[in-house]
Amino acid sequence: LVPKAAAPTDADLILAARTRQDRAAFDELVRRHQSQVRAVLRRLTKGDHGLADDLAQETFVLAWRRLDAFRFEARFSTWLYRIAFNAWQSEARKKKELLLEDAAVDHPPEIATPDGAPSSVDRVDLERAMACLSDGERAAIAACYYADLTHEEAAESLGIPLGTVKTLVLRAKAKLRARLAVKKEA
Amino acid sequence: MKHDHPNDPVEKWLREDASQGLPDAGFTERVMAALPPAQAARSRAWKPLLILGSTGMGVLLAITCAPAATAMMQGVADLYSFRGVTPAVLGLGAAILAAAVGGAILAAED
């Protein structure tokens, strides 16, 4: 029996892509990370799947161009999310002023949280509830849950203070709990 | 991230939603088709070397092949002793100009 060759790591693929311009290696990197990057952007763009995929494509094209700048100090996925957040912020600024640090962020969440939250929700309900969050709250949730970043990594990627990220996450979760509980009761 | 409240239903919904993968559905092919051609990236890396290399070769040739009266070192000596615009000074000036043009092209490329 011939032993199966181990799958190349992200680091192997990155080195191949940037030293030999190996497109097959970059193709594999895109396949590995497309799902999470697109999911994060779908949440950021309030469920606009077309825009999210355009921004995801822009993210990967920029990553290919800037691959030499990747220093292996963070996970490749963390670096990709940083590019994705920047792409989303640039797009959002074209349309309106993006507000990641809300004025009321210093105050604790004061949203009523009904008892007896439903045990499950469907994806569409969650997507609609997420769309009702502020830009900052949505970005914090996307970073911490969909991109699986720590609060510190999320703060760095979004360019906002750590305390603000924590407050935004708490407030977003309180809003989601309230909105989805009401939805279930209706 | 580490979740503060693993039993919190909102955390559970978010984790479940985040764990559902999106099918590729041709996305990777679209990205690969949108990438700039590899040839362009390679030639971009070689361009500074080509410009600097050819400029350096030109200067070297000028130094080694020029007649004795127009040699570069003679030009430096002429300039140092204020002998005016001798052929050697002109040769030296041409070499400096070639190097400056090479540098300007590189700067314009960036």
pLDDT for res A155: 93
Average pLDDT over residues B24-37: 94
Residues of A in contact with B34 (CB under 8 A): 57, 61
Q: pTM above the 0.90 mark?
A: no
- The answer to whether the complex's ipTM is over 0.90 is no
pLDDT for res A25: 96
Nearest to A23 among B17, B24, B32 (CB): B32
pLDDT for res A92: 87
Question: Does A34 reach chain B within 8 Å, measured CB to CB?
Answer: yes
From first to last of its 186 residues, what are the pLDDT tens digits of chain A? 556 678 899 999 999 998 988 999 999 999 999 999 999 999 999 889 999 999 999 999 999 999 999 999 889 999 999 999 999 999 988 877 566 665 454 444 444 444 445 556 677 888 889 989 999 999 999 999 999 899 999 998 898 999 999 999 999 999 999 988 866 555
Listed in sequence order, the residues at least 6 apart from B53 whose beta carbon sits closer than 8 Å to its beta carbon are none
Residue B81: other Cβ atoms inside 10 A: 8
Question: Does A175 reach chain B within 8 Å, measured CB to CB?
Answer: no
- The alpha carbon of residue A1 is apart from the nearest alpha carbon of chain B, in Å, by 33
Cα–Cα dist A50/A52, whole Å? 5
Question: Does A98 reach chain B within 8 Å, measured CB to CB?
Answer: no
pLDDT for res B82: 79
pLDDT bucket at B1, cuts 50 / 70 / 90: low
Distance, first Cα to last Cα, chain A: 60
Taking CA–CA distances from B4, the nearest residue in chain A reads A170
- The alpha carbon of residue A2 is apart from the nearest alpha carbon of chain B, in Å, by 31
Question: Does A155 reach chain B within 8 Å, measured CB to CB?
Answer: no
| B28, containing H or E segment | helix B27-34
pLDDT for res A113: 46
Say if the Cβ atoms of A34 and B17 lie within 8 Å.
no
| Residue B106 predicted with pLDDT over 50 | yes
Cα–Cα dist B72/B65, whole Å? 10
Residues of A in contact with B37 (CB under 8 A): none
